[in-house]
């Protein structure tokens, strides 16, 4: 950390807290299980996704992927492709327009790219599967067929493809989300050596790929005046505009990005090469162009979760109190990308006398890793929470009791106070619902016919994040309705519904009198939907806009009105209008206030930098409980029961929030039992790049998932909320691994837990 | 666009005539069309045979004939199949997904091609796809690959579930070709890879599968299918077992075992069968016999687990059928 940063933090700690949001306890609309407002359109096929955009004169693009991991293109021959039926043009590094490096994704930068070089700017191949040409044709079929006719010859260089083989070359990254890559306290190795109980193991996780149901798609159109309109499947409209404008050397106001519906983002619907290639193809051919990735392209041209190797060493005294906590981890990385932050959970979950928590990186020539639902935390917690479980059995303690004994009073590494932390309460409630007291206590000790039954638990954890910046406009129309507008993103998690709900609460309206307008950069600028931060970021900005709107409305109050002469602080939103805070008889409806005008509007800005999470330790927590059944003959493992008790602040909509947790648990079960990107070390190529071969859970693999929210507000956050998109996956893989151990007596430390690992491990029959 | 002609055959004879002129047969298209999209198969003409011989005929001799165009779902749902050949019904429903089984035909299922990922990736070397190019699976990822009757040139498996049951049932394939009709046992339809892994079956040019015939079910026998896989649905078998067993006085009187996921063909476990016939129907016997089947296995590092897994599953299935 720099001196400057330290000074800012020190100063910041002395600043007073913001006032608690008065709506933290409101229950009229917030807290209600409102059904998705976009539900009917989604289930009837009415919702239009990017690949549905159909413009007059639109052409279709298909990408030619490289076949080597590193090297140069010696020769690229497009003659046959260019002459194929329906082909309009072929773009390669020979004729691509010059494009600047797209701006990389960081918390504070304005871009959202994961690749630090623009495509087709030179003859260098940087990973296997990178696009080396774009074929544009009158139909998708013509483009796809002609793409096979592009002939490429390569001069291949030695490539760094195997994460496992390169462990000895691991080095520290500059930082991990702005924190030092390694933090230490005390003589951790000495404490470990002298501990009464020790667990010292290595855990590993493979490369994971995104498998959102909607594939990436972009449509690009240049206007005759040289302006650019892009329809893109994105979770970051404004950052995509910034990245594209920067790459194409355009002022931002000349670029519009539109996206109304996304079929799953999970951190991967950001800027990759395909948007730039689509824009370039439209420029070169002079036609609007649609570029929709195929499933194998999504595997090879967009990144997911980096592979990791993590040593966790825990030393405990006779009572199970941690004397030493070591988390030495390594992840794969490409270029300047942020490292997968696997060391974050260990920095905040347990009190330990001494610790060393850190992570190194191994640079690889593969498709750059991106963020994938709870990047780092999810796989980092697999290692940490497996090790805690191993320690519990070594000490002979219930793993929940072990956690209780190591519950910190303040943040264990920052020393800051918790804004709220109800982890142990989450365990208590979850355990009660799950029937944890009746669990199997002897590994391999419970059988139901051919199944070995086991139970496991692990902690969920995720940082509270509020994105800086962003604006919201509220418009009150003559009929007294509110339209809230922001260039926000709905990737299918219920943004529209929840924004309608929270704005209705704020403005004193029923939900059917509030509309939420989003999905286009012509609307007020809004932050990326990432880090589970969009809801909180919008809630605070809507609150700011509502305050601005009060001023505008009060200016319109006529002399004869009961509200005449009141200041914004004197009035509250209530019953479809404004009312004196202390005297309900002094009120006016929105219709009265708007009067003869068509509408009245105000814009509010996100009030200040999110300094609160420098002063406080602000995180969500939770407890996962899982039952697995392991076939005693084959080792096939199926998850049969799940309870997740989540401490993620105030819940705006328990229905959509529970769906977020359920989806995250399902994704976590995938990582636990089946997901594995197979990168061939000889070629650096992802071999199982298809939905048939890269397994994620199907319906038959998913049991009932019982979600409980503690629903306790965080006094420091708008409306008391935290994000709920990512926390649910953290701890899932560990809970499964812990349950598999409980069922079989076999501890699998290498994901995914496939039957061959259990089976060769146990030799059970 | 890669163009091809499409003709819907009016009858088997016309189909064969068109195929002799260079057309490829098209069943439900669930495999062939995928492979065409990947440019692994590049037919210039297709003759659609999915409208031919559909239906299940019960013959007086107790055998059952299934038209080659009968959909997988229809076979699995047929009352006679469910009653007399449960191993077949179970094998079919354990494969693919409901949608795919609704479209897939019996003929197409028999001739579906391997799921080896290197076969599916035109950037990889594969002797099956491009004879003489090499096999990337051997030194690459091969956890799902074959351990029996493999060759230096190919370690791919035949991926079908249905065919494993057909082999255990001693089913026969009825074939019509330019030179006339013939019948081949399903077990003999496939070739071992040897030096020519691209030659997968004994079918000659333009030979059409017209039907599959199941011999009369073994009186007093019970049968079942067990598929071991990485997820509950929509995953190919790591190992699968089709077994038909008749036990008389605690002795194995009749046994037929076929295995999926372990060889380039649905594998008839003749060694195990020989050991079992006349032997006591006991778990130990089952296990020893099943292990004997795998004495000739040639596993690689990632698929070695199949050599111990498969015998355990076989023994367990037989135990279930005998108990
Ligand atoms: C995602 C996915 C998962 C799957 N999972 C499984 C699984 O778990 N288990 C399983 O067993 N299968 C599985 N399958 C494969 C499926 O069973 C086959 O695709 C299907 O059976 C093929 O039948 P079809 O009629 O569609 O064949 P087609 O695709 O039409 O044809 C396949 C081949 O057979 C030839 N052919 C078709 N009919 C005849 C005929 N009458 N005479 C001669 N040649 C003919 C064609 O020329 C072609 O070469 C899966 C498929 C997919 C796509």
Lookup: tokens for B38: 């990947």
Please report whether residue B191 resides in a domain.
Answer: no
Residue A15: pLDDT above 80? Answer: no
Residue with the larger pLDDT of the pair A111 and A513: A513
**Å from CA of A748 to ligand 1 middle:** 36
Residue B139 distance to chain A (closest CA, Å)? 9
Residue of B nearest to A143 (CA): B1
Grade residue A11 by pLDDT with cuts at 50, 70 and 90: low
* Cβ of residue A608 closer than 8 Å to a chain B Cβ: no
* A 12-71 → B contacts, CB under 8 A: 65, 67
Please report whether residue B89 resides in a domain.
Answer: no
What sections of A443-585 are H helices per DSSP?
Answer: 495-507, 534-555
Respond yes or no on whether the N-terminal peptide bond of residue A752 is cis (omega within 30° of 0). yes
CA-CA distance, A285 to A289, in Å (whole number)? 9
Choose which residue among B12, B24, B25 to substitute to test ligand 1 binding: the one with the highest number of ligand atoms within 8 A of its C-beta. B25
DSSP string for residues in A609-668: --THHHHEEEEEEEEEEEEEEEETTT--EEEEEEEEEEE-BB-S-HHHHHHHHHHHHHHH
Whether B257 contacts B273, CB under 8 Å: yes
Q: Domain ranges in chain A?
A: 1-30+416-464+612-765, 50-158+213-264+269-301, 467-608
Nearest residue (CA) to ligand 1, atom 21: B109
For A580-628, write each residue's pLDDT tens digit.
999 999 999 999 999 999 999 999 998 767 788 788 999 999 999 999 9
CB pairs below 8 Å between A and B: how many?
A: 85
Domains A1-30+416-464+612-765 and A467-608 share a fold: yes
Number of domains making up chain B: 2
Cα Rg of chain B, angstroms? 19
**CATH number, residue B18:** 3.30.43.10
For A201-240, write each residue's pLDDT tens digit.
999 999 999 999 999 999 999 999 999 999 999 999 999 9
CA-CA distance, A271 to A238, in Å (whole number)? 11
Residue A336: pLDDT above 90? Answer: no
Residue A80 distance to chain B (closest CA, Å)? 12
Residue A149 distance to chain B (closest CA, Å)? 11
Residues 6+ away with beta carbon under 8 Å from B94: B161, B225, B227, B237, B240
Per DSSP, B157 falls in state P
Interface test with B, best of A632, A692, A700 (most B CBs within 10 A): A692
pLDDT of residue A5: 59
pLDDT of residue A17: 77
Lookup: tokens for B57: 């005929």
ipTM at complex level: 0.96
Domain housing B39: 5-49
Nearest to B309 among A65, A678, A759 (CB): A759
**Å from CA of A295 to ligand 1 middle:** 21
* Cβ of residue B307 closer than 8 Å to a chain A Cβ: no
CA-CA distance, B266 to B286, in Å (whole number)? 20
Please report whether residue B70 resides in a domain.
Answer: no
Nearest residue (CA) to ligand 1, atom 28: B29
CB-CB under 8 Å, B117 with A687:
yes
Residue A671: pLDDT above 70? Answer: yes
Residue A129 distance to chain B (closest CA, Å)? 10
Domain A467-608 class?
Answer: alpha beta
For A251-290, write each residue's pLDDT tens digit.
999 999 999 999 999 999 999 999 999 999 999 999 999 9
CB-CB under 8 Å, A674 with B230:
yes
* Cβ of residue B134 closer than 8 Å to a chain A Cβ: no
- Give the pLDDT mean for B299-319: 97
pLDDT of residue A9: 64
pLDDT of residue B304: 97
Active site residue ranges of A: 726
**Å from CA of B209 to ligand 1 middle:** 13
* Cβ of residue B120 closer than 8 Å to a chain A Cβ: yes
CA-CA distance, A723 to A727, in Å (whole number)? 8
CA-CA distance, A479 to A466, in Å (whole number)? 34
- Give the pLDDT mean for B181-210: 98
Interface test with B, best of A698, A746, A752, A761 (most B CBs within 10 A): A698
Contacts of A635 in chain B (CB under 8 A): 309
CA-CA distance, B160 to A659, in Å (whole number)? 36
Grade residue A102 by pLDDT with cuts at 50, 70 and 90: confident
pLDDT of residue A764: 38
A1-30+416-464+612-765 topology per CATH: Aldehyde Oxidoreductase; domain 4 (3.30.365)
Nearest to B1 among A141, A633, A678 (CB): A141
Please report whether residue B186 resides in a domain.
Answer: no
For A150-185, write each residue's pLDDT tens digit.
999 999 999 999 999 999 999 999 999 889 999 999
Closest atom of ligand 1 to B43 CA is 47
CB-CB under 8 Å, B230 with A698:
no
Say what angle helices B305-322 and B283-293 make with each other, to 10 degrees.
140
* Cβ of residue B123 closer than 8 Å to a chain A Cβ: yes
For A113-122, write each residue's pLDDT tens digit.
999 899 999 9
pLDDT of residue A610: 78
* Cβ of residue B230 closer than 8 Å to a chain A Cβ: yes
Residue B1: pLDDT above 80? Answer: no
φ/ψ region of B194 (left if φ > 0, alpha if ψ in -120 to 50, else beta) reads: left
Chain centre to alpha carbon of residue B126:
21
Q: Which CATH superfamily is domain A50-158+213-264+269-301 in?
A: Aldehyde oxidase/xanthine dehydrogenase, a/b hammerhead (3.90.1170.50)
Residue A4: pLDDT above 60? Answer: no
pLDDT of residue A1: 45
Interface test with B, best of A633, A674, A677 (most B CBs within 10 A): A633
CB-CB under 8 Å, B234 with A636:
no
For A490-510, write each residue's pLDDT tens digit.
999 999 999 999 999 999 999
Closest atom of ligand 1 to B94 CA is 8
Residues B254-263, buried b or exposed e (16+ Cβ, 10 A)?
bbbbbbbbbb
**Å from CA of B69 to ligand 1 middle:** 11
CB-CB under 8 Å, B136 with A755:
no
Residue B31 distance to chain A (closest CA, Å)? 12
pLDDT of residue B41: 96
Give the helix/strand (H/E) hosting B162: helix B162-168
CB-CB under 8 Å, B136 with A698:
no
For A560-570, write each residue's pLDDT tens digit.
899 999 999 99
Residues 6+ away with beta carbon under 8 Å from A502: A29, A30, A535, A538, A539, A542, A652, A719
* Cβ of residue B39 closer than 8 Å to a chain A Cβ: yes
**Å from CA of A726 to ligand 1 middle:** 39
User: Which residues does ligand 1 sit against, CB inside 6 Å?
Assistant: A 692; B 24-32, 34, 49, 68, 95-96, 100, 103-105, 107-109, 111-112, 159-162, 208-209, 234, 236
- Give the pLDDT mean for A656-671: 98
Residue A302 distance to chain B (closest CA, Å)? 18
**CATH number, residue B231:** 3.30.390.50
Please report whether residue B262 resides in a domain.
Answer: yes
Residues B138-149, buried b or exposed e (16+ Cβ, 10 A)?
bebbbbbbbbbb
Please report whether residue B239 resides in a domain.
Answer: yes
């Amino acid at each position: 950390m720099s001196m400057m940063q330290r000074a800012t933090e020190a100063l910041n700690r002395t600043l007073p807290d913001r006032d608690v949001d008065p709506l933290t306890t409101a229950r009229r609309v917030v807290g209600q299980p409102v059904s998705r407002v976009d539900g009917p359109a989604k289930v009837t096929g009415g919702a239009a996704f990017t690949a549905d955009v159909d413009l007059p004169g639109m052409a279709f693009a298909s990408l030619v992927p490289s076949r080597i991991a590193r090297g140069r293109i010696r020769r690229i021959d497009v003659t046959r492709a260019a002459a194929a039926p329906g082909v309009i043009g072929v773009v390669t590094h020979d004729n691509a327009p010059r494009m600047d490096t797209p701006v990389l994704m960081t918390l504070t930068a304005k871009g959202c790219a994961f690749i630090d070089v623009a495509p087709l700017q030179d003859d260098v191949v940087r990973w296997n599967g990178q696009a080396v040409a774009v074929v544009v044709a009158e139909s998708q079929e013509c483009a796809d067929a002609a793409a096979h006719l592009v002939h490429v010859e390569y001069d291949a260089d030695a490539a760094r493809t195997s994460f496992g083989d390169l462990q000895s070359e691991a080095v520290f990254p500059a930082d991990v989300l702005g924190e030092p890559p390694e933090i230490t306290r005390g003589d951790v190795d000495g404490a470990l050596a002298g501990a009464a109980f020790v667990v010292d193991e290595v855990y590993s996780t493979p490369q994971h790929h995104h498998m959102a149901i909607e594939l990436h798609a972009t449509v690009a159109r240049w206007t005759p005046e040289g302006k650019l309109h892009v329809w893109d499947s994105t979770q970051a409209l404004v950052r995509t505009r910034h990245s594209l404008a920067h790459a194409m050397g355009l002022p931002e106001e000349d670029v519009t990005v539109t996206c109304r519906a996304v079929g799953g983002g999970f951190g991967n619907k950001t800027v990759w090469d395909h948007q730039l290639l689509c824009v370039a193809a439209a420029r070169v051919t002079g036609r609007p162009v649609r570029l929709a990735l195929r499933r194998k392209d999504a595997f090879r041209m967009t990144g997911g979760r980096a592979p990791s190797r993590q040593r966790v060493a825990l030393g405990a005294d006779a009572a199970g109190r941690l004397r030493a906590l070591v988390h030495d981890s390594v992840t794969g990385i490409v270029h300047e990308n942020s490292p997968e932050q696997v060391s974050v959970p260990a920095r905040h979950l347990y009190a330990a006398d001494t610790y060393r928590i850190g992570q190194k990186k191994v640079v690889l020539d593969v498709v750059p890793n991106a963020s994938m639902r709870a990047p780092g935390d999810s796989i980092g917690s697999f290692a940490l929470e497996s090790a805690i479980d191993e320690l519990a059995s070594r000490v002979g303690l219930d793993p929940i009791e072990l956690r209780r004994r190591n519950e910190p009073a303040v943040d264990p590494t920052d020393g800051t106070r918790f804004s709220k932390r109800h982890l142990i309460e989450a365990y208590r409630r979850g355990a009660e619902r799950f029937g944890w007291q009746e669990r199997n206590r002897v590994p391999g000790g419970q059988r139901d016919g051919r199944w070995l039954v086991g139970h496991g638990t692990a902690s969920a954890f995720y940082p509270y994040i509020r994105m800086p910046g962003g604006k919201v406009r509220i418009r009150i129309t003559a009929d007294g309705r509110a339209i809230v507008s922001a260039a926000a993103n709905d990737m299918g998690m219920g943004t529209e519904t929840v924004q309608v709900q929270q704005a209705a609460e704020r403005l004193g309206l029923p939900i059917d009198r509030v509309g939420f307008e989003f999905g286009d950069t012509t609307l007020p600028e809004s932050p990326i939907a990432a880090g589970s931060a969009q809801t909180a970021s919008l809630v605070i900005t809507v609150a700011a806009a509502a305050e601005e709107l009060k001023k505008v409305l009060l200016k319109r109050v006529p002399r004869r009105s009961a509200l005449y002469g009141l200041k914004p602080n004197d009035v509250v939103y209530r019953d479809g209008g404004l009312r004196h805070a202390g005297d309900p008889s002094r009120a006016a409806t929105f219709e009265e206030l708007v009067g003869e005008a068509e509408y009245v509007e105000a814009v509010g800005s996100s009030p200040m930098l999110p300094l609160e999470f420098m002063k406080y330790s602000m995180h969500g927590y939770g407890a996962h409980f899982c039952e697995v059944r392991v076939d005693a003959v084959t080792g096939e493992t199926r998850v049969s029961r799940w309870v997740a008790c989540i401490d993620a602040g105030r819940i705006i909509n328990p229905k959509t929030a529970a769906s977020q947790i359920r989806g995250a648990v399902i994704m976590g079960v995938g990582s636990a039992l089946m997901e594995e990107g197979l990168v061939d070390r000889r070629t650096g190529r992802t071999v199982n790049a298809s939905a048939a071969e890269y397994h994620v859970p199907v319906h038959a693999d998913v049991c009932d998932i019982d979600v409980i929210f503690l629903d306790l507000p965080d006094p420091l956050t708008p409306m008391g909320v935290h994000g709920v998109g990512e926390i649910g996956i953290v701890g899932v893989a560990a809970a499964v691994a812990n349950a598999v151990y409980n069922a079989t007596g076999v501890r699998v430390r290498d994901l995914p837990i496939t039957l061959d690992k259990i089976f060769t491990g146990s030799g059970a029959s | 666009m890669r163009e091809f002609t499409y003709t819907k055959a009016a009858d088997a004879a016309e189909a064969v005539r068109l195929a002799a002129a260079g057309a490829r047969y098209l069943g439900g298209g669930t495999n062939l069309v995928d492979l065409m999209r990947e440019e692994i198969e590049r037919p210039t003409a297709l003759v659609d045979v999915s409208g031919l011989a559909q239906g299940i005929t019960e013959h007086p001799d107790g055998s059952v004939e299934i038209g080659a165009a009968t959909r997988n779902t229809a076979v699995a749902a047929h009352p006679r199949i469910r009653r007399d050949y449960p191993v077949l019904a179970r094998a079919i429903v354990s494969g693919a997904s409901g949608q795919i089984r609704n479209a897939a035909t019996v003929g197409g299922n028999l001739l579906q091609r391997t799921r080896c990922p290197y076969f599916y990736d035109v950037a990889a070397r594969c002797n099956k796809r491009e004879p003489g190019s090499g096999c990337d699976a051997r030194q690459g990822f091969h956890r799902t690959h074959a351990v029996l009757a493999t060759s230096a040139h190919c370690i791919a498996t035949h991926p079908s579930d249905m065919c494993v049951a057909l082999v255990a049932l001693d089913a026969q394939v009825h074939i019509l070709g330019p030179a006339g009709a013939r019948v081949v046992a399903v077990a003999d339809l496939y070739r071992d890879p040897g030096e020519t892994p691209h030659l997968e079956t004994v079918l000659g040019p333009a030979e059409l599968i017209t039907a599959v015939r199941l011999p009369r079910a073994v009186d007093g026998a019970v049968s079942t299918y067990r598929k071991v896989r990485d997820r509950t649905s929509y995953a190919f078998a790591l190992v699968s077992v089709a077994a038909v067993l008749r036990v008389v006085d605690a002795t194995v009187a009749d046994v037929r075992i076929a295995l999926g996921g372990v060889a380039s063909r649905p594998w008839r476990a003749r060694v195990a069968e020989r050991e079992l016939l006349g032997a006591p129907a006991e778990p130990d016997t089952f296990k020893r016999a099943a292990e004997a089947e795998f004495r000739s296995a040639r596993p690689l590092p990632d698929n070695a687990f199949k050599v111990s897994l498969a015998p355990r599953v076989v023994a367990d299935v037989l135990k279930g059928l005998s108990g």
